[in-house]
Amino acid sequence: MACALGVLQACSGSDVLAPAAPQVANTPANGGATPAPSPVATISRVTPDSLVVGTMLTIEGANLPANPSAVRLSIAGIALEVRAASATRIEAMIPAAGFACAAPAAQTLRIELGAATVEQSVVLRTAARIDLKANEGALTLSAEQAACVELAGSAAGAAKYVVAVVNTATQANATARFDLRGQGTGALTNVASVVQAEVAVSALRVPSAPSAFSALTAQQELVAAAARETAAHANLLAVNAEILRAAVPSGARQAYARAAAAVNDTVTINALLNSCTKGKAVNARVVYAGAKAVVLEDIASPRAGRMDDALRAIGGEFDATVYPLLTKNLGDPLAMNGQLNGDGRVTMVFTRFVNDSSPGTAGYVSACNFYPKAKFAASNEDEVFYARVPATNESVDDWRRTMRSTVVHESKHLASYAERLARGATAEESWLEEATARVAEELYARTFPGGGSWKGNTGFAATVGCELTQCDDRPLVMWKHFSQLHAYLRSADSLTPFGPAKSGDVTYYASGWSLVRWAVDQYAATESGMLKALVAGTSPAGVAGLATVAGVSTEQLLTGWAMANAVGATGATWNSADIWQGLAATFPGVFQSAPLRGRAVSAGSFAFGGLQLAGAGASYVTIGGVQGGGQLVQLTGVNGGAVRLTVQRVQ
């Protein structure tokens, strides 16, 4: 039924507002006709049936004012913006702001058309409604969109959601603050958390004093050893990045060839650390001279001449496995060789200089060696990496067990520097340079029996478990990745893959690797194609480059990875749930079978205020139970960063 606006009267449902009673007209004195009464405005329909903030409302009728300024609309006292008006139709925008975040409820729509007014009851939805099936995720919402969200009730009764608040800022120090609140209706029971409750992690404290691997008897010390080595290495990589950024070579250099070294030759090479102009001359013997590698042993090392078999095995493995792996999947360490010494081989220097000058470091490269002596006087003009020799109380077997992955890691740095310098590209951001070096180690670990394959969903027993129990001759590799990733997940809100969050933090080596691995698993057409594009330096540096080669936005990349961490879907290559369970069983009290730390609440009312996020940090809340109605979630108080909210229903 239509609502006439001839008098001020409420119109709701099928009520009809009758026009004013006709008046008896006086005959004009001149005998003319009586003027016809003005047409009565009528309203036939208000659409949609349920109004939503931030959307359009339409009023249809007859004899409506065609001038928008003659129309005034409001809901619950909040004015609407009239966008268009005609005799039969009025369109207005319901503002997104100003209304209280609440469940859908009846509100009063006030319609003023000139001097006439009518009020009508309408249902208004102030929340963005998310209706998900089990194991279905929602689109990412901005802070403004997430200011009021309604998770739809479950017809089956039980529902469980993971809500992740993610700081998508691309700088580690771009911190953000936020509040998260919830309210709902209906009784809730059987709450179970996807993210694990708080547990003590004092066992993960890194001891200050180093010790040899062969002396490791405590579970905690095994964790700490990897962290110490990583921390020492990180400082040296930062020095290299500064060198590469400050001195990008231009133009081609004259190629020349140096006489190839032969086994048992004695050569002198500069050992460099934090200077490109001063080095320490190391006299070394050639232990191995292969197709792609030359292995040098410092003749002043304590065991010089007594570990040739181990050194030859390292050189042979580089020729047979490591170099082909790098060139196929990441880049060529010898991409600049024609402009350096031209011998076509990577030089590995095992020297006590590393032990003495950088305790705790297994190995490192110096970018100085890629430049001519005219630029940096101490340059060897050669693809060189330096590595430590066994400690006094360390067996050669134990040393080799840790050194083999270091050879892969440092050779990948050589590949990255060579590929970028050959193209005149700038240095990669340090966190991503390390993340892709960890990817190289992972690819190496996958060359061993049962070590896994791309998207192979490989679990604990044949990989990390085999490394720890020394089931065969493979070295420690994936153990480092997952032990440090565990530490990151324990504090994913305050840590970041983009670098150290505080002094001594090395978790970004593992979280950066995890981010790259997830992106490759999720978006790559071929694993090697995406990785080589990332290392080559043809895309922007840092996370922007990773997003570019993945073909998505940085926001999509970071929120997708954050949610994957929460629901145990961090990629198709590794079965992370099985690996966490294996580590927890092997090291009870040190590792958790579900390491991600978050908050678990029953659907209904909850409030968390003043929460902080590092750049790329994520905070998690699991909401679950038997839900009788919709669950409201409010993201408010956002300050800093680029905060986004994403939701996945897991039950």
Where residue 134 falls among pLDDT bands split at 50, 70, 90?
A: confident
Mapped onto helix, strand or coil, the DSSP state of residue 134 is coil
Give residue-wise pLDDT tens across range 473-520. 999 999 999 999 999 999 999 999 999 999 889 999 999 999 999 999
Instruction: Kindly report, residue by residue over 167-179, the tens digit of the pLDDT.
Output: 999 999 999 999 9
CA–CA distance, 120 with 85 (Å, rounded to integer): 19
Residue 651 pLDDT: 84
How sure is the predictor about 102, in pLDDT bands with cuts at 50, 70 and 90?
confident
What is the C-alpha separation between 571 and 513, in angstroms, rounded?
A: 12
Contact of 57 with 51, CB cutoff 8 Å: yes
**For 32, which DSSP code?**
P
Q: What is the pLDDT of residue 274?
A: 87
Question: Cα–Cα distance between 603 and 451 in angstroms, integer?
Answer: 42
Neighbours of 586 (CB within 10 A): 15
Torsion from C-alpha of 322, 376, 541, 335, nearest 10 degrees: -40
Nearest partner of 616 among 506, 525, 537, 501, judged by Cα = 501
Task: Reply yes or no on whether the pLDDT at 47 is more than 60.
Answer: yes
Mean local confidence (pLDDT), 335-340: 92
> Is it the case that residue 15 has pLDDT exceeding 50?
no
Q: Give pLDDT, residue 38.
A: 66
- Give me the pLDDT at residue 28, please: 52
pLDDT by residue (tens digit) across 507-559? Answer: 999 999 999 999 999 999 999 999 999 999 999 999 999 999 999 999 999 99
Buried b (16+ CB within 10 A) or exposed e, 249-270: beeeeeeeeeeebeeeeeeebb
- The pLDDT assigned to 246 comes to 66
DSSP H or E run through 435: helix 430-445
Residue predicted with more confidence, 630 or 372 = 372
Average pLDDT over the chain reads 85
Percent of the chain with pLDDT over 90: 68
Closest CA to 396 of 309, 478, 282, 284: 309
Give CA–CA dist 647/149, Å, rounded.
10
pLDDT of residue 570: 60
Collapsing DSSP to helix, strand or coil, 384 comes out as strand
Per-residue pLDDT at 273 exceeds 70? yes
DSSP 425: P
Cα-atom radius of gyration of the chain, to the nearest Å?
Answer: 34
Q: What is the pLDDT of residue 228?
A: 59
pLDDT value of residue 10: 35
E strand spans, 18-103: 42-47, 50-52, 56-62, 71-75, 78-79, 81-85, 89-93
CA distances from 572 to 143, 514, 568 (A): 30, 12, 10
Q: Are 507 and 495 in contact (CB under 8 A)?
A: yes
Please count the other Cβ atoms lying within 10 Å of the Cβ belonging to residue 217: 8
For residue 104, cis peptide bond before it (omega within 30 degrees of 0): no
Q: What are phi and psi of 312, to 5 degrees?
A: -65, -35
Q: Which residues contact 596 (CB under 8 A, 6 or more apart)?
A: 195, 196, 489, 490, 492, 565, 566, 620
Q: What is the pLDDT of residue 195?
A: 45
| 111 has pLDDT over 70 | yes
Distance (Å, whole) CA 538 – CA 535 = 8
Q: Whole-model pTM?
A: 0.84
**Mean pLDDT value of segment 324-348:** 95
Percent share of the chain, pLDDT over 70: 81
Q: What is the pLDDT of residue 227?
A: 57
